[in-house]
Amino acid sequence: MVDAEPTSRDRGQLVIIGALALAFIVLGIVVVFNGILYTEGLPSGTTSQSATTAETTDAEIEQGVGCVLVRADNESDAAESIAAFGESYEEMRSQSTAAVVTVESGPERVSVSGSESANAMVTVAYDSHDVTHETNLSVDESHCPEVGDP
C-alpha cells in the first residue's frame, strides 16, 4: 500500500511508468513521421503528366505561322489564315493540356508584300496553373522548315 511518506518502492514504480510513457511517445513519433514521409513520396499526379511547356508552344506557333506566311499572297489572306490556325491550335491545346493558349494577330501586323520575306507579329498568351506568360513573336518565312525528301 502507498503510504503518505515516500519509500524506495514508490520511486521504482515512478521510474517504470516514466519509461513506459517515454517508449510509447517514441513509438508514436515513429509512426507519425513514417506516415508523413510516405505521403510525400507518392507521386503528385498531374505534374508529371503535363504534356507541354510554354517554350514548346512558342516553337509550334512559330512553325505553324511561318508556313502560313510562305503560302499567303496578301496581308488579309495571311491574317485570315493565321486566325484560322490560331483557332484550331487553341482548340487542340485545350483538349490536351490544362493550359489555355491564345494566339492573336491582325492584318495590320502582317507584312507580305515587298522585297523582304513575309513576316507577322503574333501575340501568344500562355496560361496554366503555374506559368502565365505573354510574348510577342516575330515570325517570318524562315521559321517554316524546308520540305525535303523523307
Partner 1 sequence: MVILLAVLFALQSVIIMPTTSGTADRTAQAQIQEETRDALGIAAREGALSETIRNWDSASDAWIDDERDDAEDEPAFYRADQPGPDESLTYETAAFANQSSLGAILESRFAAQGWNYNVELVAADGTDDGAFETTPLVYQGSAPPDAVTASYVVTLYEDEELTSPDGDEIALEDAHRDHAYPIASAGDDSPVYAVVEVRATVW
Contacting residues toward partner 1, per CB under 8 A: 27, 30-31, 34-35, 37-38, 41-43, 48-49, 51-53, 56, 59-60, 63-64, 67-68, 71-72, 80-81, 84-85, 88-89, 91-93, 95-96, 145-148, 150
Of residues 128, 129, 109, 131, the one with CA closest to residue 120: 109
Q: Which is nearer to partner 1, 22 or 51 (CB)?
A: 51
The least distance separating partner 1 from the CB of residue 8, rounded to whole angstroms, comes to 27
Classify residue 83 as exposed, middle or buried by CB count within 10 Å of its CB (0-12, 13-18, 19+): middle
The least distance separating partner 1 from the CB of residue 21, rounded to whole angstroms, comes to 14
Distance CA 103, CA 61 (A): 8
Q: Which is nearer to partner 1, 18 or 28 (CB)?
A: 28
The least distance separating partner 1 from the CB of residue 62, rounded to whole angstroms, comes to 11
The least distance separating partner 1 from the CB of residue 7, rounded to whole angstroms, comes to 29
The least distance separating partner 1 from the CB of residue 49, rounded to whole angstroms, comes to 6
Q: Which is nearer to partner 1, 10 or 91 (CB)?
A: 91
Cα 135 to chain centroid distance, Å, stands at: 17
For residue 142, the tally of other CB atoms under 10 A from its CB is 13
Lookup result for grid cell 507521386: 43
87-121 residues labelled b (16+ CB within 10 A) or e (exposed) = eebeeebeeebebebebebebebbbbeeeeebbbb
